[in-house]
Structure 1
Amino acid sequence: MTGRERGDRRVDHDKEFLARRFDADRGHLRAVAYRMLGSVSEAEDAVQEAWFKLSRSDVSGVENLSGWLTTVVGRVCLDMLRSRGSRREDPLEYYVPDPVVRVADTTDPEHAAELTESVGLALLVVLDTLGPAERLAFVLHDMFAVSFDEIAKIVDRTPAATRQLASRARRRVQDATPAPGPDARRQREIADAFLAAAHGGDFEGLLAVLDPDVVLRADGGRTLAAVSQVVRGAEAVIAQALTYAKFRTDTLRVVANGQPAVLSVVKGRPGSLMTFTIVEDRIVALHILADPERLATLGLSAEDLARATS
């Protein structure tokens, strides 16, 4: 065997090793990117970019490859957030982050679990209000225990300044994020009670399950921009619920980011997704995704959608 052949085999071996190591960390990296970006497709793009960087880098001297990959994904996401902020046209107030959805009575797939553990849509909405550097500092430190020394290198700040970024973000998150709700079974009961009351035109029934300060956020995207709105207060939300309940569609009980949700299905395709955030037996937030472009990427099979009932 020539020296060149041995060298080629060594390179192939190294690439195979890096590919295996990257695959082992892929779920973790996807979870980091999803919390940073609130978009499933952009999170996948960020993870793929991290692989490109790994495959082109000499990491022979890296002691903690998982940590190195985490900071690479963080840097990629930071650049994506900054680029997004400079070109975003849709009002942020109406924006509903990409949900990760599974059918309610199926086992939680590993992919969905790793993306959404402890990150409801309400939290993602709050994270979207943070500046890119604040979001990075909070997500990496508070959610993934990355040190401020490492984060400082990404945001080009001192560790002390980076700590302040995370502290400001933490206060905003704590002030705006709902407290944990009841167990999953009870949350589903409350969501079902809301739907039954809405379909039955039961004003008092709706009032009983809604928090007085409930917020409804609807996002129709570019295609259905007229649908996008924010509605605040129980009576205003009830008026919306009773209006839309007149247009009966087939529905499918699903789980979105670990929370009860219902998907309307029209001619075998997703029509809208409503997700419930519940605290102390009351619905405190409703997130409705009606954007046809993003609904088409939910990943539910035709078999799943065929299970919808009227």
Structure 2
Amino acid sequence: MVVGTREVEVFENSRARLGAIAYRLLGSASDAEDAVQDTFVRWHAADHELVETPEAWLTKVLTNICLNQLTSARARREAYVGQWLPEPIFAGDRMFGPADTVEQRESVSIAMLTLMERLSAKERAVYVLREAFGYAHSEIAEILDLTEANCYQIYRRAKQHMADDRTRMEVDETAARKVVEEFLAAALSGNTDSLVRLLTEDVISAGDGGGVVFSLPQPLSGAVRVARFLRRLLEPTSDKWAMIGGRADMFAAVVNGVPALVIVVGDRIVGVITLEVTTDGIAAVHTQGNPAKLERATRYWAASEHAVPLRENW
């Protein structure tokens, strides 16, 4: 089957939406890109005269590809060295997807993507399509070959698993920079108490080094323990410079919808620390240092403008 200009245009008009769905389902931008490409291959081979609604057809195919990928991905994550965290994406990356509602913005946060790991594959698909993309239960049932009643039951279970009574703060670039400036100043002050004051009592810190760079094997919890760890992590030493390949510049940014400290050596991002900010303080600190998971972020960073660093030659 030859794909004509119109069919290519139809797919390209859906590419960003498909990528955003796949990223939320898989937690990996690279895996999401593969799923979108696999969807195009199947679109290429389809009999387009039999496709009544291309958007629905593409969404169904993509979602089922992602469900299959999730099964193998979870097996890989069981053998993953250290903690597994989602791949970070900057605000403005088309994979970020819709951000018109609180639910849409929260669905792409590192905290929520990590929480989704506890859902079954179908629960995750129903939750993402409903919460982040506003699909009706009847549409989701068609995509997943379920009854509408079953789809609604799955959604209710997923909502219960994802229940979180924290009130998160909405941030723009200006607010994010202020949060990150305060966080970095406290972390580098040498005074643990100043950092503790920014954290919630039950704050959690988790890091992903992929077995390539240092990260904690298990999450830390509690304001004092997390503050002490962050102080040591961000204390400038020759050992750290050797590990990351030189002195670094530090920037504030919005990553996965939350304030983030971006650590850059030359033109390469070597670390992203996202701060889950609630009305009670910073409730979670996620550190991504796995080089394989920073490749897309580095490409985006190199192609975009950004403000002056908060700290140079760290």
TM-score by length of 2: 0.83
**Residues 187 and 281, structure 1, Cα contact 8 Å, conserved in 2:** no
**Alignment pair present for 1:276 and 2:265:** no
**Residues 220 and 228, structure 1, Cα contact 8 Å, conserved in 2:** no
**Residues 134 and 165, structure 1, Cα contact 8 Å, conserved in 2:** yes
**Alignment pair present for 1:89 and 2:78:** yes
**Residues 149 and 159, structure 1, Cα contact 8 Å, conserved in 2:** yes
Using a 3 Å threshold, how does the CA distance of structure 1 residues 92 and 143 change in structure 2: closer, same or farther?
A: farther
The range that moved more, 140-149 or 206-215, is 140-149
* CA-atom RMSD in angstroms: 2.7
Q: 2:45 aligns with which of 56, 65, 72?
A: 56
**Alignment pair present for 1:37 and 2:26:** yes
The Cα shift of 1:16 comes to 1.1
Paired residue for 1:250? 249
Note the alpha carbon deviations across 1:126-167, whole angstroms, 9 max, x for none.
112211111011112332233434434554543322222111
Quote the Cα distance in structure 1 between the aligned partners of 2:171 and 2:307.
Answer: 28
Equivalent residues in 2 for 1:66-145, closer than 5 Å: 66-90=55-79, 94-101=83-90, 109=92, 111=94, 113-114=96-97, 118=105, 119-145=108-134
Q: Aligned residues: percent identity?
A: 30
Equivalent residues in 2 for 1:219-234, closer than 5 Å: 219-224=208-213, 227-234=216-223
Note the alpha carbon deviations across 1:49-93, whole angstroms, 9 max, x for none.
111111111132333211111111111101100122233334698
Q: 1:215 aligns with which of 195, 204, 229?
A: 204
What one-letter code is carried by the residue in structure 2 that aligns with 1:179? T
Using a 3 Å threshold, how does the CA distance of structure 1 residues 92 and 259 change in structure 2: closer, same or farther?
A: farther
Note the alpha carbon deviations across 1:98-129, whole angstroms, 9 max, x for none.
1112xxxxxx5362552775121111111122
Quote the Cα distance in structure 2 between the aligned partners of 1:200 and 1:158.
Answer: 57
**Residues 268 and 305, structure 1, Cα contact 8 Å, conserved in 2:** no
The Cα shift of 1:187 comes to 4.1
The Cα shift of 1:253 comes to 2.0
**Residues 268 and 302, structure 1, Cα contact 8 Å, conserved in 2:** no
**Alignment pair present for 1:285 and 2:284:** yes
- Tell me the secondary structure at the aligned position of residue 223 of structure 1: coil
**Alignment pair present for 1:181 and 2:169:** yes
- From the CA coordinates, give the structure whose radius of gyration is larger: 1
Residue ranges of structure 1 left out of the alignment (5+ in a row)? 1-10, 102-107
Quote the Cα distance in structure 1 between the aligned partners of 2:31 and 2:160.
Answer: 26
Residue ranges of structure 2 left out of the alignment (5+ in a row)? 238-247
TM-score by length of 1: 0.84
Paired residue for 2:35? 46
Note the alpha carbon deviations across 1:7-38, whole angstroms, 9 max, x for none.
xxxx76x6211100111111111111111111
Using a 3 Å threshold, how does the CA distance of structure 1 residues 33 and 113 change in structure 2: closer, same or farther?
A: closer
- Tell me the secondary structure at the aligned position of residue 118 of structure 2: coil
Paired residue for 1:8? none
Using a 3 Å threshold, how does the CA distance of structure 1 residues 67 and 92 change in structure 2: closer, same or farther?
A: farther
The Cα shift of 1:284 comes to 0.7
The Cα shift of 1:288 comes to 0.2
Quote the Cα distance in structure 1 between the aligned partners of 2:21 and 2:136.
Answer: 15
Quote the Cα distance in structure 2 between the aligned partners of 1:271 and 1:183.
Answer: 24
**Alignment pair present for 1:237 and 2:226:** yes
- Tell me the secondary structure at the aligned position of residue 98 of structure 1: coil
